[in-house]
């Protein structure tokens, strides 16, 4: 079995131009449109235009890509504007005065999105440890007096 390599569009165009001297070939996709000058004589193509010809389907594809790129740019600009508007509304809606100073919920103490227990200051940890040890000694003293 003989396997022939797949030619690129540029290689295909070169092969067709060598085989058919006056061929009209799309330089983008490599499609052979005409082999004789008489076939495309009504189009009044110059030699440079014939050698740089792009078929209608390739032109439509390029126009579609351009149209899609423009639509994506417009969508991106609209999404950014909407996001900025929403963020601006959130900042106005949740001002510092609207947040209760007495509330200690996760969402109001600035801990939103952080998992785990809140941190306790070292001074608070020492105070709680003293209270625990005093309570333990008081229980032991009470047991000793009851015996």
Chain segment 3-17, per-residue pLDDT in tens: 888 889 999 999 999
More confident residue, 119 or 69: 69
CA dihedral 64, 70, 76, 79 (to 10 degrees): -90
Name which residue leads in pLDDT, 93 or 50.
50
Residue 108, pLDDT score:
55
pLDDT at 63: 96
Closest to 29 in 3D by CA, of 57, 70, 4: 57
User: Residue 52's pLDDT is what?
Assistant: 94
Q: Which helix (H) or strand (E) holds 83?
A: helix 56-93
Does 113 have pLDDT greater than 90?
no
Contact 13, 30 (CB under 8 A): yes
Least confident of 23-32, 80-89, 120-129, 134-143: 80-89
pTM, full prediction: 0.50
Mean pLDDT over all residues of the chain?
85
Query: Residue 16: what pLDDT?
Result: 94
- Residue pLDDT, tens place only, 34-77: 999 999 989 899 999 999 999 999 999 999 999 999 999 999 99
Report whether pLDDT(94) > 80: no
Residues sharing a CB contact under 8 Å with residue 54, sequence separation 6 or more, in sequence order = 26, 27, 28, 62
> Residues 65-91: what's their mean pLDDT?
88
């Amino acid at each position: 079995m003989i396997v022939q390599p797949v030619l690129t569009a540029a290689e295909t165009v070169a092969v067709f131009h060598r085989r058919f001297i006056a061929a009209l070939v799309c330089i983008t996709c490599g499609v052979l449109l005409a082999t004789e000058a008489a076939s495309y004589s009504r189009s009044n193509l110059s030699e440079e235009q014939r050698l740089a010809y792009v078929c209608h389907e390739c032109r439509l594809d390029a126009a579609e890509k351009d149209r899609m790129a423009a639509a994506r740019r417009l969508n991106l600009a609209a999404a950014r504007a909407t996001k900025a508007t929403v963020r601006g509304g959130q900042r106005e809606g949740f001002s510092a005065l609207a947040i209760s100073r007495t509330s200690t919920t996760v969402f109001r103490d600035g801990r939103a999105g952080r998992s785990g227990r809140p941190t306790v200051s070292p001074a608070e940890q020492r105070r709680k440890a003293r209270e625990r040890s005093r309570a333990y000694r008081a229980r032991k003293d009470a047991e000793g007096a009851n015996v």
